[in-house]
A and B are shown apart, each in its own frame.
Chain A
Amino acid sequence: MEQLLGFAVPGVPYGCAYAIFAVGLVLTYQATGVFNFGYAAQAYVSAFVFGWLVQVHQAPVWLAFLVAVVALGPGLGIAMDRLLFRRIPPTHGLAKVVTGLSLLVGIPSLLPVVFGNQNLVGLPSIAFNPNTVYFHLFGLALAPINGVFLSSVVFTAAILVVLTVLLRATPLGLEMRAAVESRRLVQLEGVNADRVVSAAWALSGLMAGLAGVLLAPTQATLQSQAFLTLMVAAIAAAACAVLRSMSVAAAVGVLIGVVSLVAQGELPTGSVWYSAVLPALPFVVLFAALLVVPGLRALDDSRDPLASVDPPPPPVAASVRSPQLERVVRPAWWLLLLAFAVSMLTWMPRAWETVLDQGLAYGTVFLSITLITGLGGQLSLAQGTLAGVAAFTAALLALHVGVNFFVGALVGAAVAAAVAALLAVTSLRLRGLGLALMTLAAALLFDNAIFSQPALTGGTAGITLHRGWLGAVDFFDPNGHAFFVLALAVLAACAAGVRLVQRGTVGRELAALRGSEVGAAGIGINLAWQRVLVFALSGAVAGVGGALLAVQRASVAPGEFNYQLSLAMVVIVVTTGVRTVEGAIQAAFGFVVVQELLQYAPQRFSGLTFVLFAAGALSYAAHPEGIVELQKRRWTARVERIVLRHPPPPGALPVPAGFGEPVAGEQR
Chain B
Amino acid sequence: MTERGAPTILEVEGLAKSFGGVTAVDDVRFSVAAGESVGLVGPNGAGKTTVFNCVCGQLRPDAGEVRFDGRPLGDLPTYRRARMGIGRTYQRLEVFPELTVRDHVLVAARAHLGGGHLWKDLLGRSATTAEERRVVGEVLGLVGLGHVADVPVAALGLGTCRLVELARALVAEPRLLLADEPSSGLDAHETRALAALLHQLQVERGMAVLLVEHDLGMVGAVVDRAIVMDLGRVVADGAFADVMAEPEVRQAYLGVR
Say whether, besides A501-B118, A526-B79, A530-B115, A516 and B94 are in contact (CB < 8 Å): yes
Bound CA–CA A518/B58 (angstroms):
8
* A residues less than 8 Å from B155 (CB atoms): 651-653, 655
B151 to chain A, nearest CB (A): 5
Bound CA–CA A419/B91 (angstroms):
39
Kindly specify which of A145-153, A224-232, A431-439, A503-511 makes contact with the partner chain.
A503-511
Contact call A522/B78, Cβ cutoff below 8 A: yes
Bound CA–CA A523/B44 (angstroms):
26
Bound CA–CA A549/B94 (angstroms):
42
- Residues 213-255 of chain A, each 1 if its beta carbon lies under 8 Å from chain B, else 0: 0000000000000000000000000000000000000000000
Q: Which of A505, A521, A664, A666 contacts B117 (CB 8 A)?
A: A505
Contact call A505/B79, Cβ cutoff below 8 A: no
Bound CA–CA A656/B157 (angstroms):
9
Q: Which of B99, B121, B156 contacts A515 (CB 8 A)?
A: B99
Q: B228 contacts the other chain (Cβ, under 8 Å)?
A: no
Sort chain A's interface into a size bin. Answer: 35 or more
Contact call B120/A505, Cβ cutoff below 8 A: yes
Say whether, besides A315-B97, A501-B122, A511-B96, A523 and B158 are in contact (CB < 8 Å): no
Q: A295 contacts the other chain (Cβ, under 8 Å)?
A: no
Q: Which of B112, B117, B157 contacts A655 (CB 8 A)?
A: B157
Say whether, besides A315-B154, A511-B96, A505 and B186 are in contact (CB < 8 Å): no
Q: A477 contacts the other chain (Cβ, under 8 Å)?
A: no
Q: Which of B90, B98, B161 contacts A663 (CB 8 A)?
A: B161
Q: A527 contacts the other chain (Cβ, under 8 Å)?
A: yes
Within 8 A of B (CB), among A615-668: 651-656, 658-664, 666
Q: B67 contacts the other chain (Cβ, under 8 Å)?
A: no
Contact call B96/A661, Cβ cutoff below 8 A: no
Contact call B82/A522, Cβ cutoff below 8 A: yes
Kindly specify which of B134-142, B165-173, B218-226, B247-255 makes contact with the partner chain.
B165-173
Of all chain B residues, the one with the shortest Cβ separation from A517 is: B94
Q: B160 contacts the other chain (Cβ, under 8 Å)?
A: yes
Contact call A522/B94, Cβ cutoff below 8 A: yes
Kindly specify which of B21-29, B101-109, B196-204, B238-246 makes contact with the partner chain.
B101-109
Contact call B160/A660, Cβ cutoff below 8 A: yes
Of all chain A residues, the one with the shortest Cβ separation from B127 is: A504
Q: A418 contacts the other chain (Cβ, under 8 Å)?
A: no
Contact call B121/A507, Cβ cutoff below 8 A: yes
B187 to chain A, nearest CB (A): 7
Q: A497 contacts the other chain (Cβ, under 8 Å)?
A: yes
B49 to chain A, nearest CB (A): 12
Contact call B157/A508, Cβ cutoff below 8 A: no
Contact call A663/B58, Cβ cutoff below 8 A: no
A579 to chain B, nearest CB (A): 9
- Residues 55-82 of chain B, each 1 if its beta carbon lies under 8 Å from chain A, else 0: 0111000000000000000000111001
Q: B92 contacts the other chain (Cβ, under 8 Å)?
A: yes
Of all chain A residues, the one with the shortest Cβ separation from B151 is: A653
Of all chain A residues, the one with the shortest Cβ separation from B89 is: A522
Bound CA–CA A308/B90 (angstroms):
14
Contact call A656/B148, Cβ cutoff below 8 A: yes
Within 8 A of B (CB), among A571-588: none
Say whether, besides A312-B97, A500-B122, A519-B90, A505 and B160 are in contact (CB < 8 Å): no
Bound CA–CA A56/B78 (angstroms):
63
Within 8 A of B (CB), among A496-551: 497, 500-501, 503-509, 511-512, 514-516, 518-530, 533, 537
Q: Which residues of B contact A (CB under 8 A)?
A: 56-58, 77-79, 82-83, 87-88, 90, 92-99, 103-104, 106-108, 110-112, 114-115, 117-118, 120-124, 126, 147-148, 151-152, 154-161, 165, 168-169, 172, 185-187, 190
25 residue pairs A–B, Cβ–Cβ below 8 Å: A497-B122, A500-B123, A501-B118, A503-B126, A504-B124, A508-B107, A509-B110, A511-B98, A512-B96, A515-B99, A516-B96, A518-B78, A518-B90, A519-B90, A520-B111, A521-B82, A523-B82, A523-B169, A524-B79, A524-B172, A525-B107, A653-B152, A654-B151, A659-B159, A660-B185
